[in-house]
């Protein structure tokens, strides 16, 4: 690096005044500090830019530069709220990373109404950065408080499609008419006489998976995991396949879903509905009494679900409580046998190092108009564990089987956490007097589970567990079996949810081609050419979906707390930064205690990772319980502001 040298990179906005350009050149990664006032034009978060070095790095600080050219804009459209007067119309963006309003000429306003959520296409970035960009309103979602407008604007903000074309809907309805008929099963194995049931939440409508269990004469158990054969309906290159790839997955937004496939298929022919014949792919696994796999088989099948069950219903059987679930009683023996197997499988998984986060989860409860009415704890039931273990087993079995065939395939990869992040957590735990006995370098999943065991049952369990979880890398899809750190599996894929995940649909397609003997060298080359990009695309789609789901939850948390402005809450400090610290309430909602809102001056002690009251010298630490007063809510930016109660 030298003064005047130029680099291509991605701009990351920190705030309105500055940001950083991330450069990855010849495997050399570094950041360049950018002051936005040094630029003559607008730079947007995630823009690909050309930056010229103006100051070399020194004393641990980043080099500084000036953006001289925008190579690729990160966005053309933005979501925001209309602010309209008699003579002017502006759209104020929802994103905190966009630091300008967009001017809308009257002829491009679509008669927009003040306070409506809209989608705007930017048509002109002026050369003078002090003038507003100009745009066209391309869609009016409705008033900002309307629930449908909220959902559409969130989906649009993350680039997630939420409607299907008439052609796609018509094709789905036509395909939905094709179901197993009579005895001509096209070479599939007939499992319709096998006792089979689904176990899902009461509200679920897209039922991907069903299970069966047989006790064999040799004392072993044979588990059947039946998965909807979506690939039977969605052919490669069809308009529904193209749309499913574009979406990547279904998106679950509190009480509603934006499906990957039209409802006529996702809730119809592809859903394993009770007492209806369905095309499936079955993963059959035989286990001995120790939960070791004796053999397995994967094949096309036809099933008929005897009973649609709920998690609560199955748990009632486990608790021997049939007050509300009398019709489950005839399945008690098989459910108890399933529970015995699932317990053995879970124990085996934990023994090899699978990480078991015992995190308290909460859920925002909304009414039919999407108004938040409660925050409730989600209880983890053993019936949830049963289904999870069986799905993990099927995913793992399929992954290892097809790895051994040495053909192009998609795997679910979860890499080990960064050493530096784990070093900070270990140091933090040691400061809390926990003897970790671990080296932060090259930690194995079993080491992480040992850390969780150390804090189990302590006051710090939830807080440290969340810190460890946040230190983990995001799971992604890859064409190489890089392993799953959290599960401690060498081979793992996603096979069990093809209605709502494109990865599973591709996996099914490959499996079916192998089963039908049509997988040849041409198909090998075909998948070798396309799977890497598909893995990248669907990993990105998954992150968008997760972000959209979290964004709606954050909005509803803000709405839920708004009536309580001025009230005092108990909470605990979950993280500290140079501008303040975050506090989680008992219902898990988090908000910021900003240093600028503290009457007594506070600062961040980076060395000890504490927030220090400069007047009293008191140090606030992560995990410390505090009382905070709610002082402000910003629904647009999903911001919740607290102050320490003693500061008032």
CATH number at residue 97: 2.40.50.700
β-strand partners of 472: none
β-strand partners of 12: 20
pLDDT in the model for residue 600: 63
pLDDT in the model for residue 648: 45
Has residue 558 been placed in a domain?
A: no
Has residue 160 been placed in a domain?
A: no
Number of domains in the chain: 5
Can you tell me whether residue 550 is helix, strand or coil?
A: helix
pLDDT in the model for residue 601: 80
pLDDT in the model for residue 87: 83
Q: Are 530 and 281 spatial neighbours (Cβ–Cβ below 8 Å)?
A: no
Q: Where are the alpha helices (DSSP H) in 297-418?
A: 311-318, 332-352, 382-404
CB atoms within 10 A of CB 384: 16
What contacts 489, CB < 8 A, 6 or more positions away?
354, 396, 399, 483
Structural domain boundaries enclosing 233: 166-412+482-552
pLDDT in the model for residue 357: 86
Can you tell me whether residue 590 is helix, strand or coil?
A: strand
pLDDT in the model for residue 594: 94
Has residue 524 been placed in a domain?
A: yes
Six-digit token string for 429: 């735990």
Has residue 159 been placed in a domain?
A: no
Q: How far apart are CA 173 and CA 167, in angstroms?
A: 10
Shared domain check, 317 and 295: yes
pLDDT in the model for residue 225: 98
Shared domain check, 456 and 405: no
Has residue 201 been placed in a domain?
A: yes
Q: How far apart are CA 61 and CA 358, in angstroms?
A: 39
- pLDDT < 70 regions, the chain: 27, 438, 600, 646-648
pLDDT in the model for residue 27: 64
Shared domain check, 56 and 102: no
Q: How far apart are CA 185 and CA 525, in angstroms?
A: 31
Six-digit token string for 174: 């036509």
Shared domain check, 367 and 488: yes
pLDDT in the model for residue 365: 95
Shared domain check, 491 and 616: no
**What is the SS3 string spanning 615-641?**
CCCCEECCCCEEEEEEEEEECCCCEEE
Domain-ending residue, one of 72, 91, 112:
72
Shared domain check, 226 and 349: yes
pLDDT in the model for residue 98: 87
Domain-ending residue, one of 56, 72, 88:
72
Q: At what angle do helices 521-561 and 147-157 cross, to 10 degrees?
A: 140
Shared domain check, 237 and 302: yes
Shared domain check, 91 and 55: no
Six-digit token string for 400: 């290892």
Shared domain check, 498 and 599: no
β-strand partners of 26: none
Q: Are 74 and 45 spatial neighbours (Cβ–Cβ below 8 Å)?
A: yes
Shared domain check, 172 and 129: no
The tens digit of pLDDT for each residue in 286-316 reads: 999 999 999 999 999 999 999 999 999 999 9
Q: Are 610 and 576 spatial neighbours (Cβ–Cβ below 8 Å)?
A: yes
Q: Are 635 and 555 spatial neighbours (Cβ–Cβ below 8 Å)?
A: yes
pTM of the entire predicted model: 0.91
Q: How far apart are CA 47 and CA 68, in angstroms?
A: 12
Six-digit token string for 349: 């998984």
Has residue 462 been placed in a domain?
A: yes
Shared domain check, 512 and 441: no
Smallest CA-to-CA distance from 582 within 544, 619, 628 is with: 628
Has residue 55 been placed in a domain?
A: yes
Angle at 14 between CA 581 and CA 540, to 5 degrees: 100
Angle at 127 between CA 119 and CA 159, to 5 degrees: 25
Has residue 422 been placed in a domain?
A: yes
The CATH number of the domain holding residue 603 is 2.40.50.140
Domain-ending residue, one of 527, 552, 577:
552
Shared domain check, 508 and 577: no
Q: What are phi and psi of 609, to 5 degrees?
A: 55, 50
Give the rounded distance of the alpha carbon of 50 from its chain centre: 32
Q: In the block, which residue shows the tokens 């494109």?
A: 502
């Amino acid at each position: 690096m030298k003064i005047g040298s130029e680099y291509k990179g991605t701009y990351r906005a920190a705030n309105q005044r500055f940001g950083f350009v991330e450069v990855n050149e010849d495997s050399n990664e570094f950041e360049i500090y950018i002051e936005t006032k040094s630029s003559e034009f607008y730079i947007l978060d995630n823009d690909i830019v050309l930056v010229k070095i103006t100051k070399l790095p020194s004393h641990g600080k980043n080099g500084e530069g000036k953006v001289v050219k925008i190579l690729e804009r990160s966005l053309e459209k933005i979501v925001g709220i209309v602010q309209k007067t008699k003579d002017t119309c502006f759209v104020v963006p929802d994103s905190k990373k966009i630091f300008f309003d967009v001017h809308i000429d009257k002829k491009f306003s679509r008669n927009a109404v003040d306070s409506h959520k809209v989608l705007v296409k930017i048509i002109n970035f002026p050369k003078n950065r002090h003038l507003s960009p100009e745009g066209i309103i391309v869609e009016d979602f409705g008033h900002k408080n309307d629930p449908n407008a909220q959902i559409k604007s969130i989906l649009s903000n993350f680039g997630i499609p939420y409607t299907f074309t008439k052609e796609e809907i018509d094709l789905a309805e036509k395909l939905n008419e094709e179901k197993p008929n009579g005895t001509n099963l096209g070479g599939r194995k007939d499992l319709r006489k096998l006792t089979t049931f689904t176990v899902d939440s009461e509200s679920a409508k897209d039922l991907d998976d069903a299970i069966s269990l047989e006790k064999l004469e040799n004392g072993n158990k044979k588990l059947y995991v039946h998965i909807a054969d979506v690939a039977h309906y969605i052919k490669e290159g069809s308009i529904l396949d193209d749309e499913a790839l574009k979406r990547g997955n279904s998106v679950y937004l509190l009480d509603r879903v934006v499906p990957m496939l039209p409802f006529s298929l996702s809730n119809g022919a592809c859903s394993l509905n009770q007492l209806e014949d369905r095309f499936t792919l079955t993963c059959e696994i035989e286990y001995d009494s120790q939960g070791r796999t004796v053999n397995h088989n994967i094949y096309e099948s036809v099933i008929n679900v005897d009973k649609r069950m709920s998690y609560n219903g199955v748990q009632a059987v486990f608790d021997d409580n049939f007050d509300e679930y009398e019709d489950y009683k005839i399945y008690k023996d098989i459910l108890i046998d399933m529970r015995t197997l699932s317990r053995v499988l879970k124990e085996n998984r934990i023994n090899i190092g699978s990480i078991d986060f015992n995190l308290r989860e909460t859920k925002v409860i909304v009414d039919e108009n999407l108004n938040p009415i409660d925050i409730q704890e989600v209880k983890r039931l053993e019936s949830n564990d049963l289904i999870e273990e069986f799905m993990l087993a099927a995913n793992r079995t399929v992954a290892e089987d097809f790895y051994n065939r040495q053909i192009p395939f998609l795997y679910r990869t979860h890499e080990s956490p960064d050493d530096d992040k784990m070093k900070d957590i270990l140091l933090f735990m040691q400061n809390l007097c926990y003897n970790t006995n671990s080296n932060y370098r090259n930690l194995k999943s079993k080491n992480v589970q040992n850390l969780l065991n150390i804090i189990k049952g302590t006051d710090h369990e939830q807080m440290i567990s969340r810190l460890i979880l946040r230190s983990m890398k995001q799971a992604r899809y890859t064409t190489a079996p890089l392993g799953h750190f959290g599960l401690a599996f060498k081979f793992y894929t996603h096979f069990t949810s093809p209605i709502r995940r494109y990865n599973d649909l591709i996996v099914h397609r490959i499996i079916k081609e192998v089963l039908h003997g049509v997988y040849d060298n041409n198909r090998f080359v075909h998948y070798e050419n396309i799977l890497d990009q598909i893995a990248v695309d669907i990993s990105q789609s998954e992150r968008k979906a997760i972000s959209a789901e979290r964004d709606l939850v954050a909005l509803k948390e803000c709405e839920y707390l708004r009536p309580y402005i001025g009230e005092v809450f108990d909470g605990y400090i979950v993280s500290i930064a140079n501008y303040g610290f975050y506090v989680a309430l008992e219902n898990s909602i988090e908000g910021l205690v900003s240093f600028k809102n503290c009457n007594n001056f506070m600062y961040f002690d980076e060395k000890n990772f504490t927030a220090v009251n400069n007047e009293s010298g008191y140090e606030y630490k992560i995990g410390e319980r505090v009382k905070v007063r709610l002082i402000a809510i910003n629904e647009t930016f999903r911001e919740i502001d607290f102050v320490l109660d003693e500061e008032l």
